[in-house]
Chain A
Amino acid sequence: MLRMIGLRLALGVMTLLGASMLIFAGTEILPGDLASALLQNNATAENLATMREQLGLDRPAAVRYAQWFGGALQGDLGRSLATERSVARDIAPRLGNTVFLAVYAAGIAVPLSIVLGLMAAVWQGSVFDRMVNTVTLMTISVPEYLIGYLLMKYISVELGWLPTLANVTEQTGLGERLYLTLLPMLTLVLVVIAHMMRMTRASVLAIMASPYIEMAFLKGIPKWIVVVRHAFPNALAPVISVVALNLAYLVVGVVVVEAVFVYPGLGQLMVDAVSKHDVPVVQACGLIFSSAFIVLNMLADIAAILANPRLRHPR
């Protein structure tokens, strides 16, 4: 089992390396090069050359990748093309904000959706189950910004209970921060909960259909014990991966929600950088988002290995 976990860790590191290469290569797929793309119509031979030197384009791609990734590992993410400031310094506070929002949403969404998913599975086919099924199918289809604006319109504008925008600064205290980000958090929770709940329900149902569950019923064991003792330990691994998958989704869903509530997070920064072609910032943000996504997926797989009785107790 340790071997499998080791392998999975190694694979995670490899994937991370591969992802960083892809992100780097994304800027190399141009017909010309970055300098001519950035300057577009203003390109003269002279300022092209200056730009190239400034970007370090005169060195081979492999060297530039090594420098970039090596720097990133040490916390040096280069300099922004637009502001010429250190990318790392710009990112740090925003990363904090994004992590805060994601953790806030996850803390509420994960327990809630697991409980709801279990309930829907245990009462399969009931009115509750069918209602939840249809409602979640609809929320899955609704884009984040519609949910966000609906909440904003009814809760903030009409009822005036919460602020429309989540203007947090570095000075904002925890209490106020929680209050200001309540609406973005709710939006994220609503988006993520539907997926997570449906997947939890499906994996528990798959377990409930197995012969050993029928056997437990044939042994005259009460339903709640069957669910808790027989089904749940086996459903653990799939549920853990459902949670991790949705947390990874949360990391990305945050981008749109930040835009809706004008929340100063990493997503907003990245979107701005994309429209300004500020490649170093985009690369840095991309690397951070991808790492979070990859690490979460890796943790899910490791948890699944740990939860598997066949691997925990080898022959």
Chain B
Amino acid sequence: MRLYGHRVTWPAALGMVIIAVNLMGAIGAPWLAPFDQAEVVCEAWDDPSAAHWLGCDNLGRDLLSRLLFGARMSIGLSLLITTLSFSIGIVAGFTAAIAKGWVDTALSRAVDLMLAMPSLIFAFVVLSVLGTDIPVLVVTLACLDSTRVFRLSRALAMNIVALEYVEVARLRGEGLWWIITREVLPAARAPLIAEYGLRFSFAFLFVAALSFLGLGIQPPDADWGSMVRDYRDMINLGVSAPFWPAGAIAVLTIGVNFVVDWLLAIQSRGHGENA
């Protein structure tokens, strides 16, 4: 199989299938799920049956339905965070690279400082004060994550700006907007797409970890991280319920990483004509 002239390796194909299935589940949850996420429909920890394919959870809710709605929450939130962090990071990074001077120094020093601390710890400090509302969560995580996007997009833009074809545009007298959109962005697109995938999987794991620790999404909304937390005590009793959400987190992340790995390999190989 080929995509835009590049051969698709089997892990990449697998990754794409995983991502597609997850997205469909997340988008279609209200129609696909047999029950509502908060609806009590059976006894606690009922075994899987024809009516409840994956069985029931600690409160007697349908596990499959919660998994589907959880996908909606976990994936949707991570996409939101990643998109926000990308918008902040790219704008700041490109501005720093092209404006140079004190703007660059100020932004870079601030980002260095943020990156000098583990982001989980920083998030803890902020959440301990602001509480764990979803908007707070999204903005906090997006800001933390945007520091890494800033680093990448600044470095990319720095490299591209140093290229002679950009120099030609500057010598010609082109404006900043034209240089960014016509000269810099096309060359930065491929690495940025790969980075989007990478940042998504980070944000996704991060949200899930926070929820697992009880500091992320709060009940009764289902999300995969807090589902693992809710069901974890059952491990000792041999119930496999916590492995469904935890496995789903792992599978989606693996899928995204496979695709990212493939995208990065394509870039280091060069353009599609010879690949």
Residues of A within 8 A of B (CB): 15, 18-19, 22-23, 26-27, 29-30, 34, 37, 134, 137-138, 140-146, 149-150, 152-153, 157-158, 164, 248, 251-252, 255-256, 259-260, 270-271, 273-275, 277-279, 282-283, 285-286, 289-290, 293-294, 297
Contact = CB atoms under 8 A, between A and B. Distances in A.
B178 interface: no
B236 A149 contact: no
Which 6 pairs, one residue from A and one from B, show the smallest C-beta to C-beta distance? A141-B253, A26-B125, A146-B246, A274-B128, A282-B128, A141-B254
B117 interface: yes
20 contacts: A15-B116, A19-B116, A22-B113, A26-B122, A26-B125, A29-B129, A29-B130, A34-B129, A137-B258, A141-B253, A141-B256, A142-B250, A145-B212, A145-B246, A146-B228, A146-B249, A164-B235, A255-B120, A270-B124, A286-B124
B22 to A, nearest CB: 13
Given A22-B113, A145-B246, A290 B118 contact: yes
Nearest to A15: B116
A252 B242 contact: no
Contacts of A145: 209, 212, 228, 232, 246
B125 A286 contact: yes
A286 B127 contact: no
B215 A275 contact: yes
Interface of B: 11, 112-114, 116-118, 120-122, 124-131, 201, 205, 208-209, 212-215, 228, 232, 235-236, 238, 242-243, 246-247, 249-250, 253-254, 256-258, 261
Nearest to A17: B113
A6 B232 CA distance: 49
Nearest to A291: B117
B269 to A, nearest CB: 15
A161 B228 CA distance: 24
B58 to A, nearest CB: 16
Nearest to A138: B254
A34 B243 CA distance: 39
Given A22-B113, A145-B228, A153-B235, A277 B128 contact: yes
B246 A26 contact: no
B116 A141 contact: no
> Among the interface residues A143, A277, A285, which one has the most CB atoms of the partner chain B within 10 A?
A143
B248 to A, nearest CB: 10
A143 B117 contact: no
A271 B213 contact: yes
Contact of B126 (A26, A158, A256, A293): A26
A153 B215 CA distance: 25
A195 B39 CA distance: 41
B129 to A, nearest CB: 5
A277 B112 CA distance: 28
Contacts of B121: 252, 270, 285-286, 289-290, 293
Contacts of B113: 15, 18-19, 22
A30 B136 CA distance: 11
Contacts of B125: 23, 26-27, 282-283, 286
Contact of B250 (A18, A146, A260, A297): A146
Contact of A149 (B112, B122, B201, B243): B243
Contacts of B126: 26, 29
B257 A274 contact: no
A55 B92 CA distance: 37
Contacts, number: 142
B267 to A, nearest CB: 15
Nearest to B113: A18
A290 B120 CA distance: 10
> Among the interface residues B208, B250, B258, B261, which one has the most CB atoms of the partner chain A within 10 A?
B250
Contact of B118 (A27, A144, A157, A248): A248
B212 A256 contact: yes
B129 A259 contact: no
A22 B257 contact: no
A149 B242 contact: yes
Given A150-B243, A277-B128, 16 more contacts: A15-B113, A29-B126, A37-B129, A137-B261, A141-B201, A157-B236, A164-B236, A251-B118, A271-B124, A271-B214, A274-B128, A274-B215, A277-B131, A286-B117, A290-B117, A294-B117
Nearest to B228: A145
Contacts of A164: 235-236
Nearest to A38: B129
Nearest to B124: A274
A105 to B, nearest CB: 16
A286 B250 contact: no
Nearest to B123: A274
Contacts of B236: 157, 164
Nearest to B250: A142
B246 A278 contact: no
Contacts of A137: 11, 254, 257-258, 261
B130 A30 contact: yes
Nearest to B110: A18
A286 B122 contact: yes
Nearest to A289: B121
B11 to A, nearest CB: 7
